[in-house]
Chains A and B, each alone.
Chain A
Amino acid sequence: KAGVTQTPRYLIKTRGQQVTLSCSPISGHRSVSWYQQTPGQGLQFLFEYFSETQRNKGNFPGRFSGRQFSNSRSEMNVSTLELGDSALYLCASSTQGAQEQYFGPGTRLTVT
């Protein structure tokens, strides 16, 4: 079974721009979560989607948004980028609820 894939793997953007990151979960997984990983803040939960509905959200500003499609693929969008948004963005999928998550390799976003 193919693992979680994320595109693009690397991205360089300028302050004020917006960016869209994509995640394809493991086949059959309907839950997709997004995390931001930085050296200073560690791994922080952004949001979780299940069956195209956002089920939970972390403490991030409204500039961070996401969606999930009917095939469980998910995208996250960050608008009006700030330098502090530079991070590794990880996507994870799971079958449901409390089960373990399987992570993609991440998208490394650099904001200049």
Chain B
Amino acid sequence: AQSVAQPEDQVNVAEGNPLTVKCTYSVSGNPYLFWYVQYPNRGLQFLLKYITGDNLVKGSYGFEAEFNKSQTSFHLKKPSALVSDSALYFCAVRAGRTGGFKTIFGAGTRLFVKA
């Protein structure tokens, strides 16, 4: 069965410092991995994805993520955090095949960036 784990409920970082939000996954077959961000009272916004290819993927708002197959991880990173990055971040794995996919989300990690 597919699963996604985000081990940290909350991450605190000072503005200007690098940030990392952790994610590990379990899936049979090739993983399709995603990061989404949710701002208060809004739906989720797509940040970036890994389907195949380079292990380091770049996404919106300066975020990037590194796919590590041996550690089954897909950590979200940003070199320099902004206060406006404060939000709820979800890691997700999309599994299935042509004919039917389902997305499994992690529990979410709340990021606080302090000025």
Give A residues with C-beta under 8 Å from B. 4, 31, 33, 35, 42-45, 48, 50, 55-56, 58, 90, 92, 97-106
Any A CB within 8 A of the CB of B61: no
Q: Are B44 and A42 in contact (CB under 8 A)?
A: no
Q: Are B100 and A43 in contact (CB under 8 A)?
A: no
Q: Are B101 and A55 in contact (CB under 8 A)?
A: yes
Closest to A4 in B: B43
Interface of A is mostly: strand
Q: Are B43 and A55 in contact (CB under 8 A)?
A: no
Closest to B105 in A: A43
* Count of chain B residues with a beta carbon within 8 Å of a chain A beta carbon: 24
Q: Are A98 and B44 in contact (CB under 8 A)?
A: no
**Contact A103-B103, Cβ < 8 Å, known A56-B96, A97-B98, A98-B32:** no
Q: Are A55 and B105 in contact (CB under 8 A)?
A: no
B41 to chain A, nearest CB (A): 8
A15 CA to B51 CA, complexed, in Å: 43
Q: Are A101 and B100 in contact (CB under 8 A)?
A: no
Q: Chain B 38-50 against A: per-residue CB contact (8 Å), 1 yes, 0 no? A: 0000111110010
Q: Are A48 and B104 in contact (CB under 8 A)?
A: no
Any A CB within 8 A of the CB of B34: yes
Any A CB within 8 A of the CB of B53: no
